[in-house]
Amino acid sequence: MQGVHFIVNEKGERTGVVLDLKKHGDLWEDVFDRLVARQRKHEPRETLHSVKERLQRQGKLRAHE
């Protein structure tokens, strides 16, 4: 596949990849988003309601938005 180059170890096993971001930038964004989500999956959750209330108190969101 053009724009994708695998890094292999001495055993020929794939250990990394180099992506051409001009060709596969959207793919990288998807991969990165998934990595961030996986890393944060054990963080405490916050309801949408509480987020809206906090943003309203901070003046960053008007009521009924």
Residue 65, pLDDT score: 52
Find the Cα–Cα–Cα–Cα dihedral 14, 19, 25, 26, rounded to 10°: -20
Which mean pLDDT values do the consecutive 10-residue runs of the chain (65 residues) have? 95 97 94 96 96 95 78
